[in-house]
Amino acid sequence: MKKIVFLVLIFLSAGILLAQQKVDWNGYLQYRFSDNYLDQANFSVRRAKAWLFGTIPIDTGSSWGYKMQAIFHQQVKYEFWLQDVYAYYKINGFEVTAGQFVPDFSLQRKQPDYAIPLVERANVVNSLVPAGETLARDIGVETKVGNDKTGSFSLGFFNGNGANTISNQRNFLYVNRGTLFLLNHSVTKFELGYNLSYRNAHNLQFSKIFGNNYTFTGNDFRFGFEERLNLGDFELQSEYIEAHLGAEKAYGYYAITDYNIAGKNLIALSVEQLHDLNPATKDEPWYILSYTHYFDGDNIKISLDNRVQFVNKKTNALTTVQMQYFFK
């Protein structure tokens, strides 16, 4: 893995030297107020991201590029974290990526958070993707073949220890995802897909599944199914993910439907549920109603997100108002 990181750094350095006039940058800020109607009401910077990227055409049909991205957010305290640092090469529908990035597992995890119809990804996605504890990133190499019209097939090999981690511990992670468009027209699209991952884990902490202060050793096998339907301004998307950790199983799902009114107002309904392996969490589903007004597409928008969960005779609730500003 050290050789991979060294190779990526060479690619990045060469790209910056060869394409100084082609380097672009973007970023965005998500500022929010949240209230659970009990003991937490606060303002926070949910995400502040910035990244550099560039593409260098080689000849017709092929190119290579790179990306470096950092995020300012709160884990224990507000800190800057390196998220992405990778290089890629594309030719005639084939792509290979090397470095630190999001493994190709889960439809919603690969969708940028500034563009999804809710203020957060589903709990099942955040918790059960293979690198969920480390910014959903890992260090490795991934190949992908396909296109936006028919579908894609990817295979990835990763260190398995997570982002920003160089370790000699052998937790090698294998990831596979496949997608297929059954319909793909200008206003009608229907896509199905699957996800697979495996590693033989040694002393890894899966805090989003087991809770804190627990290390896991054993076979880690995960799979999922996904679908997405677009009918003009109407969209329906859902996923189911299951993680087998030794003899134990965590699983969950989400389903989102949304409708865009006149390109300025998005109404979304969602239900999601996660059965993890932490006895301190509640497994009952969350029901979500969200409204977003676009001032300038995803560049400037404000969202009102309301969530409720019914646990026995108690109702948990969370309301979030989020402002997003995209800049370059």
pLDDT for the residue 3: 47
The CB density around residue 110, as the number of other CB atoms within 10 Å, is: 14
Q: How many domains does the chain have?
A: 1
Token output for 6: 């060294």
Does residue 56 contact residue 24 with C-beta atoms inside 8 Å? no
Does residue 239 contact residue 107 with C-beta atoms inside 8 Å? yes
Report how far residue 115's alpha carbon sits from residue 299's, in angstroms, rounded to the nearest whole number: 9
The CB density around residue 133, as the number of other CB atoms within 10 Å, is: 17
Q: Which of 109, 22, 36 is nearest to 66 (CA)?
A: 22
Helix (H, G, I), strand (E, B) or coil at 324: strand
- Within 13 Å and on the Cβ side, how many CA atoms surround 172? 6
Instruction: Output the tens digit of pLDDT for each of the chain's 328 residues.
Output: 444 444 444 455 555 445 444 678 999 999 999 999 998 899 999 999 999 998 887 777 788 899 999 998 766 567 888 999 999 999 999 999 999 999 999 999 999 999 999 999 999 999 999 999 999 999 999 999 999 889 999 999 999 999 988 777 889 999 999 999 999 998 899 999 999 999 999 999 999 999 998 999 999 999 999 999 999 999 999 999 999 999 999 999 999 999 999 999 999 999 999 999 999 999 999 999 999 999 999 999 999 999 999 999 899 999 999 999 998 7
Report how far residue 291's alpha carbon sits from residue 304's, in angstroms, rounded to the nearest whole number: 5
pLDDT for the residue 6: 46
List the Cα angle 328/59/52 in 5-degree steps. Answer: 20
C-alpha 119, offset from chain centre: 13
What distances in angstroms separate CA 160 from CA 29, 101, 105, 130, one per listed residue? 30, 12, 14, 8
Does residue 157 contact residue 149 with C-beta atoms inside 8 Å? no
Range of the domain at 241: 2-327
What distances in angstroms separate CA 57 from CA 7, 52, 81, 145, 302, one per listed residue? 19, 17, 30, 19, 37
pLDDT for the residue 79: 81
Report how far residue 126's alpha carbon sits from residue 109's, in angstroms, rounded to the nearest whole number: 8
What distances in angstroms separate CA 274 from CA 1, 168, 252, one per listed residue? 33, 32, 4
pLDDT for the residue 5: 47
Q: Is the dihedral of CA 202, 204, 208, 211 positive or negative?
A: positive
225-247 as b/e, with b when 16 or more CB fall inside 10 Å?
ebbbbbeeeebebbbbbbbbbee
Token output for 152: 């894609």
Number of alpha helices (DSSP H) and beta strands (DSSP E) in the chain: 4, 16
Contact residues for 258 (Cβ-Cβ < 8 A; gap 6+): 117, 234, 235, 266, 267, 268, 269, 290
Does residue 268 contact residue 118 with C-beta atoms inside 8 Å? yes
Question: Domain with 286 in it: what CATH number?
Answer: 2.40.160.10
Does residue 147 contact residue 168 with C-beta atoms inside 8 Å? no
Token output for 62: 């092929």
Report how far residue 73's alpha carbon sits from residue 132's, in angstroms, rounded to the nearest whole number: 16
